[in-house]
Copies of this chain bind each other. A is one copy, B any other.
Amino acid sequence: MQSVIRPLIQKNNTKIILIVLDGVGGLPVNGVTELERANKPNLDKLAQMSACGLHLPVGYGLTPGSGPGHLGLFGYDPIEFQIGRGVLEALGLGIELKKTDIAARCNYATMKNGFITDRRAGRIATEKSKKLTEMLQKEIPSIGNAKVILAPGKEHRFAAILRFPEQLKPDAAAISDTDPQKEGLQPLNPVPLSENAASISKTVERLIQRAQDVLKDEEKANFILMRGFSCMPAIPTFAEAFGLKSLAIAVYPMYRGLARLIEMEAPAIDGNVADEIDFLKKRYNEYDFFFLHVKKVDSYGEDGNFEGKAAEIEAFDKLLPLVLELNPDVLIITGDHSTPALLKSHSWHPVPVLLYSPYVLGRTSSAFTERECLKGELGIFPTYNLLPLALANSLRLKKFGA
């Protein structure tokens, strides 16, 4: 679809704001969903004037991770553009990846006589893991011509990046996992699955040997397991694809990292949603497109905290007038996926969306809820169509054909 859209793009001075209430879609508990439970007069009023609908991030029955969820919102088909596990892990830990990087998810593990006896090194404390990772980083700054970058995660987890001096071939990261997935087995060798991965898998082998040497006196964390080798996906930048100068406003590193994948500007910021909106206001004149990420709605959903999630939606509702004051040409409010408190996890359910612009039908939906959005003019549609709708509603797309 991007190839159809690209030649139709025209620039103008309109402003588009996309607000992502992470995991906003829900399911009924005692008959009402989180959105139905929340008292949110501003969102409901806006929904009445907006084009409403539900978007489907990956496909019927498919539950998206945060990566595919956001790529869809940014206008990319998440099945066509898949992001490797290692890359996502690194983005989540705040590492800025380059096109010459190969990233992997790593575990500390316990090895005895050549066999893995604990794949998670007894789930060592995060603090301990952090110290070990700092030690590894200090002892192994590079392997051959590759710079080594390590980032500690929670408990036994960390990310490893090999930064090479030159751009890599797309299949250079095709290397098999070393994690045997079961205890009592030997760790696996990193096997190259493409010609371009051959020399890189050797570098990985040496990294593992060096790490083993550095960790040899550790009681539990005396070995490392690596999986999800991946490099930055070959993906058009957001500016190339849609002709928009864009700013990502997100407190969590993962979402800034996803935005940076497509070269959105994504400065590190801190604070709460009010701070994010402040930041939006300050930078409002400099960009065409703003992605503003609200994390906590999802966090409460993941915790199974129905009331907490509803309260977070209410809290956002109180701040919404600050966004409306900016009078954007197009305002979209939605989620990257559903996270029903009932399921305590992301889910496959389509996500309510409202799109406000001067060029909508409106008056189809009385509130911003799953059931009311079902009545809306956008229907149920693949998520990656939302961005073209934003372009159209900001009059940034020329006619297709004569």
A105 to chain B: closest residue by CB: B402
B399 touches A346 (CB 8 A): yes
Within 8 A of B (CB), among A352-387: 358-364, 370-371, 374-381, 385-387
B-side contacts of A235, CB under 8 Å: none
Are A402 and B65 touching (Cβ within 8 A)?
A: yes
Q: Is A65's CB under 8 angstroms from B27's CB? A: no
Residues of B within 8 A of A402 (CB): 65-67, 83, 85, 88-89
Please state the number of chain copies in the assembly.
2
Chain A 330-349 per-residue mask, 1 if CB under 8 angstroms from chain B, else 0: 00000000001011011111
Contact with B along A73-100 (1 / 0, CB 8 A): 0000011001101001100000000000
* B-contacting residues, A254-273, CB 8 Å: none
On whether the beta carbons of B65 and A397 are closer than 8 Å, the reply is no
Q: Say yes or no: A59 contacts B89, CB within 8 Å.
A: no
Q: Are B375 and A1 in contact (CB under 8 A)?
A: no
Contact flags (1/0) for A242-257 with B, using CB distance below 8 Å?
Answer: 0000000000000000
Decide if B60 touches A359 in the complex (CB within 8 Å). no
> Could you tell me if A64 and B399 are in contact, using CB atoms closer than 8 angstroms?
yes
A401/B65 contact (C-beta < 8 A), A340-B359, A361-B371, A371-B363 known: yes
CB-based nearest B residue for A59: B1
Which B residue's beta carbon lies closest to that of A348? B392
- Write the nearest CB–CB distance from A205 to chain B, whole angstroms: 25
Some 9 contacts from A to B, beta carbons below 8 A apart, are A28-B361, A54-B377, A60-B392, A62-B400, A64-B401, A89-B402, A363-B371, A374-B377, A374-B379
Kindly list the 6 A-B residue pairs having the minimum CB-CB distance in the complex, ordered from nearest: A61-B388, A60-B385, A61-B392, A65-B401, A379-B380, A68-B401
